[in-house]
Structure 1
């Protein structure tokens, strides 16, 4: 369920929705008795499948609520509203580290102060026997008065504590920052897990990119388990050898080889940072495709004239250029269309929502390469020199945590800048798309939709405009709005497979979202000959325990597209839920029998078979 704006939830009055992910929705609320604003985080309804979840939720919330530290977002309260459990946290105004890095690199001094603060928060929690399990830049909050907070402590722990389909199959963690032991589904996690994820954040601060980046979550997870860490100095020669040693130790594959505790890591980082010439930490660098990806990686551009690397190029200067003078993206080789099921079915088994939704933007970008080879770079989304090669754009500020994300004091108002760009170039679709993005980030949803529709009109329904819109919304954990706005693009471009593949993936990544079913039904009405909206609806019903409706939707999908491999996999899940393991194995074996079905999906089917037979595999194995 969702809370309505203006609704009273216990003593709290809901004022606005701040964000929505795969596990929870965040609201801003006011506590009248104490006259203070709070953030309310409510876990999605799918978790209530487990009849013991409320008790588990309360138990875990009590543990997490005991954490009191100046750099940890405190939990004030937890309760139920109409059977839906929720957490109440401190409301913090500021921005995430993710958003801060999108604006430019940290200075050495800022980096050390941030590492010390986050490290102190982790060390305090570890002394209480509590792990974070999902350390990443979007969970680090920065306030205008230089405050630093680690957010979402225990949310992953609470979500994974139940016995629902969602929690049982959920791999807690975010692909780019996940530890090898988390990726393998190990249960005996310890402080070394947080040290590894924290080490990935440090790697990103120092080098300018995460160590592993690929075109599927499975490829990234595979690399965290099996692939050697790219040496920082192989990417950026300005990284001192002492700092490289710190990162290599923090990111060792075996827990025993990492730092014994967070304090030791922080001390080593501080000592290595003292050897760095004062300046910025590192600019954002192009992310090479990981060793397990199928597409060859372009060479990484090297900077040689800064302590670690040069300062990020200013976006504002690029935005001021006339549309015809802006650098165009270098022509890209048309990619071979990856079937959507190569990555989307991760969402079916619980690897969905905020755990992987952010990464889905990268997948959308890859699908978009089919739609355009020479689209202009958006002034609001990219700012790369001509000929510099493909650049992974830093994500925009998004309200993903218990905070309202506002521009830091002294930073140019992005809305004003984007509006000026549109005023200067009213016929430029990219300018309107950029304005739509900043309106969306500011909570001006209707204005954002209007600007997006104008961008579509000016581009004559160009597919890449829809795909870039979807990318931005997936970054912001808003898959349902992405689907809503993609639908007209699919109707206007019925032969564009990239649009359909993107929507297919988003459907399956959103099955745990409140309101998802209404979106799937709208797609069924718009596109009566398309099986995927029915497959998505079937998975939605499976997650919500309505197996009769799930079977009905799956049968409709089978009539429309009998060779769709997702149907066999979903049918196997349905049989499992009914307790018919023999029939489930038969369906999974149909997936295994088709050599044309991608390895990741066959790997998932094999895992389900092994689980039924009582010999579960690790969460990720080397797949063909």
Structure 2
């Protein structure tokens, strides 16, 4: 270590000690940027500072002299340790330096991992090296870099590892991202082939109770034959079934989030809980896997930032740019990414085996989807909801077919019966106060509905393609009421937790538009305005831009009218259909009204009835080309 390096470590050490808690972690991450070795050197000194006989017990000049007394690490290349010749440095970090080496006795190349020379007398680091050896010995898997042993020669302890001849995934992605003729980048197929092997490796580690905690492209090697090897378990953690067993990379009693709240891992791939310095389990690897898969598909970070602090902020508050995914990305893989990158670990994909199965389904050409790890409910749980759903659909079809208000007979289009069976991973629709708990997208290819999870009992919005059997939850939509689609079918509006919110069907964090303590339905106009009934006690309809803002009255109450509820913007955005009520707490005197906007006439289209819905039929009307006919569905 050079004197200049030591001065920088010492300055950062003192600057970091002046801070506390999460401020300390954020400062150190930002100050060290991408220099992980520097960060870990400072963290090591902070760790020693937490004990009476550690760094603080010595003058800085003494500790500095000890660190500077070692030969610079670069000079290890070309030296021999026992029967091994260190040929070249192939990796370095705060947890160790890895050299491609040659075993003269067996005539083979191996990888040797030793501690940085500045820490060869650090008992904590030496203990971690031994723990890593024992952990790797338990992970015999074709997609995990193997270990041959823990040896000592010439007073140096080192790990003897399998030498993987190839480039790291980081190097591969960097090479493919450089624009040049004939360089199309990493294909979706190759990305999924690599992802499948990464998932297999993590699944094997998790089954042994081991969490990697630093999964990233730089720790993934790919051989010339396309075999993936996950490397560097130097930051790994051993967890029990309840995630409470001790961290094997720290001495007994050490905090899992590092001394003083420092953060373990690489910023761009940290899970939100990891970035906050909280306890982690296998779900933090699932998050990192999602980041790596996203990067393979898009050639960009899921959470890019100019500084580490920027990156951490995006991890905690923003969503990846889902539009960057290639158009050829299978829908099931998009859903898999959404499940992996849920910020709340309780809602995240629960097991790497589910990810592997999902990828296998794509490779086999099967429409597999991600399932929550839960027991399959009995017939008695889902059968009533299946029957209720089919009865509701049947009644709707009968009502549309009857259409008593049609004056002339029109051609009857061919109708193809569709049976929508229940998804056994959910329990059934939650109450939506007549809010359209099941809605169909404008294109007719996607169903959104409110249901409760079999796993955590929470109600949220689920999405289901008509051609698929299973539904996928929309993260962040807990406790929703009265969902409604945007005109383009790309977003859904809903009410939850005292707010009117919107969320993309592709995933992402919901956006709160305005406070709505009470509500009786909403509708999304073609001009981007959302119309809603804000009060149970009555009043006119309100409107707010879908980008957010201050709600403004859209309509006025007629003489004697108590309130206007369950609005629906009609095609063209020039009129709104709503329920007009004149009796508090009752629908006995309710009528269905169409109001021309902005201040045009209104007319009653149905005496007696509430929660009306206009349903376009798609048949041409006698009124002229381009016009559409439809039906009015309502409750009476």
Higher share of residues assigned strand: 2
Both proteins in one fold, TM over 0.5: no
Which has the higher relative contact order, 1 or 2, with Cα contacts under 8 A spaced 6 or more apart?
1
- TM-score normalized by the length of structure 2: 0.39
